[in-house]
Amino acid sequence: MSDLDHAISLLRSCKPIPEPAVRELCYKARELLIEESNVQLVDAPVTICGDIHGQFHDLMELFRVGGDVPETNYLFMGDFVDRGFYSLESFLLLLSLKVRYPDRITLIRGNHESRQITTVYGFYDECLRKYGSANVWRYCCEVFDYLALGALVVGAGSFVGDENEECEVEVVGVGGDVVTRLKRRDDGAGLMNAANPLQEGGAGGGDGGTVGGPPGSGASGSSGGTKGVNNGAVLCVHGGLSPLVDSVDKIRLLDRKQEVPHEGAMCDLLWSDPDGNLFPLLSTLDLCHRKLTELEIDGWGLSPRGAGFLFGADIVKHFNHLNNLTLIARAHQLVMEGFKEMFDSSIVTVWSAPNYCYRCGNVAAILELGEERNGSGSGVQWSAGAGRGQGSGVARRGPGRRYRVFEAAPQDSRGMPAKKPVADYFLSFVNWVTFHPITHFTYLAPGTPKAPDFKLYYMLMNNQP
């Protein structure tokens, strides 16, 4: 058994590997990742996963539900670390699988794969606790800087399900039964129907947008008719779009090998969120007086937090159209149902941390994109006229999507750290009973003697369940 396989088997049982092994692994991973493009090309079939956040046992559940590496081809959209109890084991397992099976697993960077964020949200503390020094944290952070910023999935099929019952969307619930099947609407308008005339505002207008050109190239030429070219691609990023990035090529040009900056395109890709409220911001009067082209600008908004962008439906549709994409898959936001499609299925949030922070009670999901099937060509020609028939621009149809929903790993298998010791419980318990008489109504200057500490007394007095 090679060292790497040994490390993988240790990590699979949720055991940390020795510090020199981490260093070696991170070194190898960097060598591998440095060769990757900012936007990795990935062939379907692929299973797309969202945030993991150190929930190791739930990651194992994910592999149980979605298949193991290398049998299943995986794409993880970042946020491997922080918040959960096992950031280290989760990240190192994914990383060692990446080194072992580079073509079967793709890792892209989330906003938590950063020095600053991991210092605040737990990964740093965890490394310190498990190794007694920050070395392992440093090795991991160096790897973070080399992770790709996005991935482009090509060759995804248009349908899921068996030949007889081809569907656009299939939802496999907890337990493995199909709970929902949605047929593709073959009325030409596809999912981008005309329910809201604004929604197609960005899609090139009329007939000009015949789809073609390599996905993500920004070229919108005529249809080539070749498999993999004709189909739009799926862009995967952790957060979302950036006003500085109007084509996938612009992402390719970024210098990614650095700490996540507080501003700029790289930051936006990892941090921004779609927002369904952007249009209602405009008054009806506004809507009457503005042209659709102006509305596109309004599709960007500022977060009330004072930093960060929000983007609306038209931004996504416009971007998808220009870049020959049929879907943007992203993570970054907690969704109770594990996934959430927005803006007429032009973007989807995938969330893969069930019972987030061990208390939210949410389910998680992974998104499976199948392979293009031979012989079902007629069903997958995006630009073959069906969309044009409606005269509403080209209705590019999203890939067939299978969402597998799963719950948190059973409690007994998760090996949670023991409950807080009783003393701890009562300490915090006592804290909320005590009232600190001296601090009432007064500001305490630094160095002012504190009120007599009643804690110990209360602790002794109350120490019974």
Partner 1 sequence: MSRSPPLQTAPNIDVGKSITRGDWKVTTHKLPILNSTEIEAMTTALGISPPEMIFGNNSVDVTNEKLNWSISFNALDALELVDKSGESMLKVSYSEAWQKMRERVHEDIKEIVKPYDWTYTTNYQGTVHSSDRPFQQTGSEIPFDKLKRPDPILLFDDVVLYEDELADNGISILSVKIRVMPERLLILQRFFMRLDGVLFRLRDTRLFIEFETGEIVKQYQAREDTYANVRSGLYMHPPEQIPSLLRDDSFIAERLPVIEMERERVLLG
Tell me the catalytic residues: 112
Q: CB pairs under 8 A, 24+ apart, for 281-290?
A: none
287 near partner 1, judged by CB under 8 A: no
Q: Which stretch binds partner 1 (CB under 8 A): 19-27, 149-157, 213-221, 274-282?
A: 274-282
Count of C-beta atoms within a 10 Å radius of residue 76: 29
Q: Is 160 helix (H, G, I), strand (E, B) or coil?
A: strand
- Looking at residue 192, what DSSP letter applies? S
Distance of closest approach, residue 117 Cβ to partner 1, in angstroms: 6
Enumerate residues 326-355 that contact partner 1 by CB under 8 A.
Answer: 333-345
- Which x/- pattern, by CB under 8 A, does the window 351-390 give for partner 1? -----xx-xxxxx---------------------------
253 near partner 1, judged by CB under 8 A: no
Instruction: Classify the C-alpha dihedral 130-26-63-256 as positive or negative.
Output: positive
Distance of closest approach, residue 196 Cβ to partner 1, in angstroms: 7
Distance of closest approach, residue 174 Cβ to partner 1, in angstroms: 5
Report the distance separating Cα 88 and Cα 10, nearest Å.
12
277 near partner 1, judged by CB under 8 A: yes
Report the distance separating Cα 96 and Cα 380, nearest Å.
37
Report the distance separating Cα 99 and Cα 252, nearest Å.
23
Cα separation of the two ends of the chain: 51
428 near partner 1, judged by CB under 8 A: yes
Closest by alpha carbon to 374, among 200, 157, 127, 75? 157
Distance of closest approach, residue 270 Cβ to partner 1, in angstroms: 10
Distance of closest approach, residue 176 Cβ to partner 1, in angstroms: 12
Task: Please report, for residues 86, 100, 147, 231, the alpha-carbon distance to residue 20 in angstroms, rounded to integers and kept in the order given.
Answer: 19, 18, 21, 45
Task: Please report, for residues 217, 255, 343, 357, the alpha-carbon distance to residue 115 in angstroms, rounded to integers and kept in the order given.
Answer: 32, 17, 33, 21
Distance of closest approach, residue 123 Cβ to partner 1, in angstroms: 10
Report the distance separating Cα 33 and Cα 94, nearest Å.
13
Report the distance separating Cα 314 and Cα 189, nearest Å.
17
Enumerate residues 224-243 that contact partner 1 by CB under 8 A.
Answer: 243
Q: What share of the chain is helix, strand, coil (3-state, %, to 5)?
A: 35, 15, 50
431 near partner 1, judged by CB under 8 A: yes
Report the distance separating Cα 289 and Cα 320, nearest Å.
26
87 near partner 1, judged by CB under 8 A: no
Cβ density class 26-54: b for 16+ within 10 Å, e for less: bebbbeebeebebbbebebbbbbbbbbbb
- Looking at residue 379, what DSSP letter applies? G
Distance of closest approach, residue 224 Cβ to partner 1, in angstroms: 31
Which position among 303, 376, 411, 413 is part of the footprint of partner 1 (CB under 8 A)? 303
Which position among 70, 102, 161, 173 is part of the footprint of partner 1 (CB under 8 A)? 173
101/358 with CB nearer partner 1:
358
Q: Which stretch binds partner 1 (CB under 8 A): 28-36, 144-152, 382-390, 428-436?
A: 428-436
Q: Which stretch binds partner 1 (CB under 8 A): 65-73, 207-215, 257-265, 366-374?
A: 257-265
Q: Which stretch binds partner 1 (CB under 8 A): 9-17, 36-44, 384-392, 440-448?
A: 440-448
Report the distance separating Cα 300 and Cα 246, nearest Å.
13
Which position among 55, 403, 409, 414 is part of the footprint of partner 1 (CB under 8 A)? 403
262 near partner 1, judged by CB under 8 A: yes
Enumerate residues 196-225 that contact partner 1 by CB under 8 A.
Answer: 196
Q: Which stretch binds partner 1 (CB under 8 A): 4-12, 306-314, 368-376, 415-423?
A: 306-314
Residues that contact partner 1, how many (by CB under 8 A): 86
Which position among 38, 47, 106, 111 is part of the footprint of partner 1 (CB under 8 A)? 111
296 near partner 1, judged by CB under 8 A: no
152/369 with CB nearer partner 1:
369
180 near partner 1, judged by CB under 8 A: yes
Enumerate residues 3-42 that contact partner 1 by CB under 8 A.
Answer: none
Cβ-contact 57, 409 below 8 angstroms: yes
CA angle 369–374–379, rounded 5-degree value = 70
